[in-house]
Amino acid sequence: MMDALNECSETDVPDLVRGAQSFALEFGARIILTSQTNIELPADLKVILKQLPPPDTLQKRLIYCHHADLTATSEIDVFCAGFTNAYDLTLAESLLQPIDAQSPELRFTTDMFGDASPNISPSALPFVK
């Protein structure tokens, strides 16, 4: 799997894809190339193109909650809104650490948001940093 072809120089992408195809032919492998943007490839490169849309709100919630081991509720959406792909959601979850109920962070969060928090349930407040 080769990720983020869009981060390669446009002039290098065709040679990179040719090299990956050569490897796949020699070793009987399959390759998956990903890009967050459309990439123009020369006509001599044979590829099957699959375009996937970014995850929608429900998919973001399910991905995030799966990795965070949380119940998937719409209250979590506020945490997922800014992320654009599944990889980012997985990374966001890895940064999620529960805050002790007596911690200054929780008291600060409660003081700052209180009942005016952006639709965050009290059960989710320990995860707000």
Torsion of CA 73, 75, 79, 80, to 10 degrees: 50
Structural domain harbouring 25: 1-52
pLDDT single digits (tens) 68-124 = 888 999 998 988 888 887 777 777 766 665 555 555 555 555 555 554 444 555 555
38 shares its domain with 66:
no
Instruction: Say how many domains are in the chain.
Output: 2
Mean pLDDT computed over every residue of the chain: 76
Looking at the predicted structure, is the pLDDT value of residue 19 above 80? Answer: yes
| Position 29 pLDDT exceeds 70 | yes
Length of the chain equals 129
Report the candidate in 103, 79, 104, 105 with the shortest Cα–Cα distance to residue 92: 79
Residue 36 shares a structural domain with residue 69: no
Q: Which residue has the higher pLDDT, 105 or 49?
A: 49
Provide the pLDDT for residue 48: 82
Same domain, 76 and 92: yes
Q: Tell me: do 120 and 82 sit in the same domain.
A: yes
Q: Are residues 100 and 116 in the same domain?
A: yes
| Residue 79 burial (CB count, 10 A) | 23
Whether 11 and 65 map to the same domain: the answer is: no
